[in-house]
Structures are given as C-alpha cells and as structure tokens.
Amino acid sequence: MYRICKCIELESGHLLSKHPGNCQFPHGHTRSVELVFAAETLDDHEMVMDFKAIGEMMNEFLEQFDHALCMNTADPNYAVFRSIYGDRIIPFEQMDPTSEAMAHAVFRHAQAALNKAKSGALRYPVRDCVKLERVRVWETSSSWAEYGE
C-alpha cells in the first residue's frame, strides 16, 4: 500500500463548555491537520495522487477555521458570540469542538471532497482507487486526535 500525507497548518480557537478546567474559556492553538490518502498502485505520474489535488479539495474548507472560534451550539453564550463575530464562530452542533470532533468534521468533508474529485471535478485527477485513511488534528506539538474508518 502506498500512502501520502498532506499537513496543513492553521491558527484556530475553541472553547469547551463541558470542560471542568481552563479549556472552558476561549483559547487558541496552532493546529496541524494531517490527511492521509492511500492506494495500492501509483498513477501514470508515479503518485498516489497529486498533493495539489488535496489543496484543491481542502483549502477553502480549512480556511474557515483559521483565526476563528469553534463553539458548541448548546453553549449558553453561543448566540452572543455568533451575533458579534458572525461566521468567525464555527458551530459544532450540540457538541464541544474537541480535537476529536474536529478530526471527524475534517474527515467527513475530505471524504465528500474525495468522492467529488474522483468524478473529475478537479484540475488534478484523482483515481477511483484512492482512499482517505485518516485525519489527524494536532492540538499542540505533543497532542493529537485522529479519525478514520
């Protein structure tokens, strides 16, 4: 099996309203998001897929998280933050935006984007045999959460 990994860095904030400690307050992280794709064979260019295809699939989606605050929609202050900061508040429906939840959200988007890319929607072709294995979100240089199927 051949694997490739694209790492995208962004500055992202969140608050965890269910957390008993300081994480219940707004704070930020320099996050790295790793996307791992795999295929049993290489394409005509000796690649699993072009790294530029991953950028096409993911950059706009991940850009929304950059310098934004992720919040649980059940947080009592969610509506206030959203009214003040608009789309810079990223809603996580009835759940805290933990790194685990973020990894899941990124995985779901990447999977849908990969399926779309396989239909020829991108400048850089993606073969049907390419699979998304996992998404890893680094919260700090020593802590990450991962989601895969």
**CATH architecture under which domain 2-148 falls:** 2-Layer Sandwich (3.30)
Separation between Cα atoms, residue 141 and residue 74, nearest integer Å:
29
Query: Would you say residue 119 has pLDDT above 90?
Result: yes
The domain spans of the chain are 2-148
Determine the residue type at 132: L
pTM of structure: 0.95
Query: Which CA distances in Å does 43 have to 2, 24, 40, 48?
Result: 11, 47, 10, 6
Q: Kindly report, residue by residue over 6-60, the tens digit of the pLDDT.
A: 999 999 999 999 999 999 999 999 999 999 999 999 999 999 999 999 999 999 9
pLDDT at 40: 98
> Contacts from 112-118 at CB under 8 Å and sequence distance 24+?
113/57, 113/58, 113/61, 114/37, 114/57, 116/57, 117/53, 117/56, 117/57
Q: What is 36-97 written as a DSSP string?
A: EEEESS--TTS-SS-HHHHHHHHHHHHHTTTT-EEEETTSTTHHHHHHHHGGGEEEETTS--
